[in-house]
A and B are shown apart, each in its own frame.
Chain A
Amino acid sequence: DADVTQTPRNRITKTGKRIMLECSQTKGHDRMYWYRQDPGLGLQLIYYSFDVKDINKGEISDGYSVSRQAQAKFSLSLESAIPNQTALYFCATSEQGSTEAFFGQGTRLTVV
């Protein structure tokens, strides 16, 4: 089983719909991140959380919200999806002080 699990893996949704992407981890890490990836743009940080009570905006948080329900769970919501939110979304975790981030397998989201 993967240490960082994202659900769903693929999703097609309509413009204006609310959608939630979920991430859970079994690594026991305190830090969790949501990135989106568009071709040629690398990974852009949407939100990150260093603790259950800590939520921080990243580079491109507009149109997104997050919830850290527990140390192991960090979900990303699109309140009203729009086509330019079509992208590959990655959740990642890391330990405080650690240099390495561990990624989930990604969620491919298409907004039509």
Chain B
Amino acid sequence: RKEVEQDPGPFNVPEGATVAFNCTYSNSASQSFFWYRQDCRKEPKLLMSVYSSGNEDGRFTAQLNRASQYISLLIRDSKLSDSATYLCAVKGNMLTFGGGTRLMVKP
């Protein structure tokens, strides 16, 4: 079993929709959690960190559930430009990534 798992998708949604991704992790000692965005054939870039109390950045909301060992990312009012692959990452001794969830926002 992979240490960090995500549904690969793709998630096909219309513009303006709300979409949510989950990511589960197996190492209960993990300390930090992140969402990265990766555009096609480009390098991943940090989208947002995930804090225990949950956090919001504009249309993006991230949440952490330590008891169930998952993190989530909610995107409201989806834009065409949100189309990308979203990678969750978990940091213990090293930074471990999930396989990514592909999002396609359509007009």
Contact residues of A with B, CB < 8 Å? 33, 35, 40-45, 48, 56, 58-59, 88, 90, 92, 94, 99-101, 103-106
Pick from B4, B32, B43, B91: contact of A90, CB under 8 Å: B43
Residue B49 at the A interface, CB < 8 A? yes
Quick check: which of B11-19, B60-68, B73-81, B94-102 contacts chain A, the rest being far away? B94-102
CB–CB A42/B95 < 8 A: no
Q: How many residues of B are counted as interface, with CB atoms below 8 angstroms from the partner's CB atoms?
A: 22
Structural contact, A106 and B99, CB atoms closer than 8 A:
no
The answer to the question of B44 belonging to the interface, with a C-beta cut-off of 8 Å to chain A, is: yes
Nearest 8 A-B pairs (CB), nearest first?
A: A103-B43, A42-B99, A43-B97, A42-B97, A100-B46, A42-B100, A42-B98, A40-B8
Report the minimum CB–CB distance from A45 to chain B (whole Å): 6
